[in-house]
Amino acid sequence: MDDLSADARGAFARTWTDDRPWEFLTALTSIGDRMAGGEGDSRASSLVANAFADAGVEAVEFDPFEMARWTRGETTLELTAPDERSFDAVALPYAPAVDVSGPLVDVGYGTPSEIDDCDVDGGIAVASTTTPGDGRFVHRMEKFNYAIDSGALGFVFVNHVPGQLPPTGALRYDEVAVAPGVGVSKETGAWLTDYAERNGTARLSVSAATTPGESRNVEGHLGPDTERELVFCAHFDAHDIAEGALDNGCGIATVVTAARLLAAMDLDLGVRVVGVGAEELGLTGAEHLVRRLDLDRVAAVVNVDGAGRFRDLVAMSHTSEATADVATRVADETRHPIRVEETPHPFSDQWPFVRAGVPALQLHSDSGERGRGWGHTHADTRDKVDVRNIREHAMLAALLVRELASAAAADELSRLDADELAGAFRRADFATGMKAAGIWPDGWE
């Protein structure tokens, strides 16, 4: 990027040794519980606002919104036959307060076709967190809701990562599910699948409450005042069972660090910088943001969910050829690998924008493993983070935002076509799972 100003080059040089990304991540993860709607969520949003202002983001303000606050109580998973024993389990957010009993049914990876091959009616489905390596990764919400639609009374989500780590994750988007779901460790799952083969039965009990709550987005501005703008965002909330260092502490730290770089750069378009609340409980903050903005003025969105965690950056273009081209160009000019993935998905904050036709990039990173790894477990802690990844991905993110701003100013970012987008989701075999989860858009037949 030979056209960077002297100020921008100085900012990039300082980023290599800047301690502020680590200090921000340390402060964020020391909060502990950042579940949306709670006291930790409010503290996190204030921390993000201060970090934005310190990075040079202008006119930083809070934008509150209503959401369904879910509060965890006690969870029990008891085998009732052929043995009597109990297992550790964690309820998945938006699980209702309910008590169910039935036969354990091993549905393998929990894909719709596997569930169709099993008789889950009246049973408790047991499914892995991972999916076969020859297809796309099937999300928890798809598995749970398809199993419940098929007659299952409850759902057990088995981590495929060892270490006595039950996983968590929401069952629905911002609403209570009709049946309970819980996460268990890989080690517990081995017992449950064994008992399923022996016609084992179990009792699943969840104590939880869903009440009206409030979270808030943090917004500010960088660059010139222009008729159109980019949205540059990352969510700062996390599940209540861990520090949320990887998911998405690294992501919001990347945005804060990139914002400091963008503040020193010449931009062709204004950038709305957003710390998004309540992503983990249904993309609620992003949905609120999309309802509030004039999307005709939004040229593109860059959502940082997954960047900063691992070595190599992944740019998900969500079917946009123009954003994919920008990512490829930045990779080539910086000689830094960025893997571009075109297949869309509806499970992060770019989705409400993509659904409305806004071109997008989601910045992720690749561990070489399939699935979340430490994410959504007790092990998502600060010690897993390498701050060098945050620094480097922030520099790349800043360059990507600048290049997208230039492309948008030159009117090179085409809107997404709804029919072509729907076709891409169908080709990736999303329709069945998204319909079961209640997130297949109206009008997409």
State which CATH number among 3.40.50.720, 3.40.630.10, 3.20.20.70, 3.90.1280.10 fits the domain covering 6-68+213-426. Answer: 3.40.630.10
pLDDT in tens, 388-402: 999 999 999 999 999
Q: pLDDT over 90 for what percent of the chain? A: 95
pLDDT higher than 70, residue 1: no
- Give residue 132's pLDDT band: very low, low, confident or very high (50, 70, 90): confident
CA distance 394 to 397: 5
Mean pLDDT along residues 429-441: 96
Q: What integer pLDDT is reported at residue 9 of this predicted model?
A: 95
pLDDT in tens, 6-21: 999 999 999 999 999 9
For 394-442, the DSSP string reads: HHHHHHHHHHHHHHHHTT--PPPPHHHHHHHHHHTT-HHHHHHHT-SPT
pLDDT in tens, 352-396: 999 999 999 999 998 877 778 899 999 999 999 999 999 999 999
Cβ-contact 142, 436 below 8 angstroms: yes
Q: What is the rounded average pLDDT for all residues in the chain?
A: 96
Report, in angstroms and rounded to the nearest whole number, the Rg of the chain calculated over CA atoms. 22
The CATH 3.50.30.30 portion of the chain extends over 70-211
pLDDT higher than 90, residue 407: yes
Q: What integer pLDDT is reported at residue 135 of this predicted model?
A: 78
pLDDT in tens, 187-234: 999 999 999 999 999 999 999 999 999 999 999 999 999 999 999 999
Cβ-contact 107, 114 below 8 angstroms: yes
Indicate left, alpha or beta for 21 from its phi (over 0: left) and psi (-120 to 50: alpha): alpha
Neighbours of 198 (CB within 10 A): 10
pLDDT higher than 80, residue 2: no
Domain 70-211 belongs to what architecture?
A: 3-Layer(bba) Sandwich (3.50)
pLDDT in tens, 18-59: 999 999 999 999 999 999 999 999 999 999 999 999 999 999
Mean pLDDT along residues 305-329: 97
pLDDT higher than 80, residue 72: yes
* 3-class secondary structure, 60: strand
Short-list 165, 157, 169, 161, CA closest to 107 = 157
The CATH 3.40.630.10 portion of the chain extends over 6-68+213-426
Q: What integer pLDDT is reported at residue 73 of this predicted model?
A: 95
Q: What integer pLDDT is reported at residue 100 of this predicted model?
A: 98
